[in-house]
């Protein structure tokens, strides 16, 4: 079992912006996939987001990083803007 940690902007900005149906689907995806086997379900990213992975949930993307038994969720946004914003949020 992996522990899930969220970037502060995911809680204050990303999640409140989602409609209730999308929130429910994303929550199920996190609980079913990222808690149990994030390395299996997440596709590795390249270039400026190397080391991070993405999980596709409909038109939304969850960008995260795995460190030991912790999954750090960097961003949850629509596919049209997620990578531009993720690059400015990433941790070193």
The confidence band for 68, taking pLDDT boundaries of 50, 70 and 90, is: very high
Summarised one tens digit per residue, pLDDT across range 23-40 is 999 999 999 999 999 999
> Residue 92 above 80 pLDDT?
no
- Single pTM value for the model: 0.95
Task: Enumerate the domain spans of the chain.
Answer: 3-89
Which of 12-20's residues contact partners 24+ apart within 8 Å by CB, and which partners?
A: 14/75, 14/76, 14/77, 15/76, 17/77, 18/60, 18/76
Please give the class, per CATH, of domain 3-89: alpha beta
Q: Which two tokens stand for residue 46?
A: 């390249």
> Residue 91 above 80 pLDDT?
no
């Amino acid at each position: 079992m992996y522990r899930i940690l969220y970037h502060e902007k995911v809680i204050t900005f990303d999640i409140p912006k989602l409609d209730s149906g999308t929130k429910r689907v994303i929550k199920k995806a996190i609980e079913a996939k990222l808690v149990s086997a994030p390395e299996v379900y997440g596709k590795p990213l390249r270039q400026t987001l190397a080391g991070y992975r993405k999980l596709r949930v409909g038109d939304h993307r969850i960008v995260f990083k795995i460190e030991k038994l912790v999954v750090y969720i960097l961003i949850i946004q629509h596919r049209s803007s997620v990578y531009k914003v993720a690059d400015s949020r990433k941790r070193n």
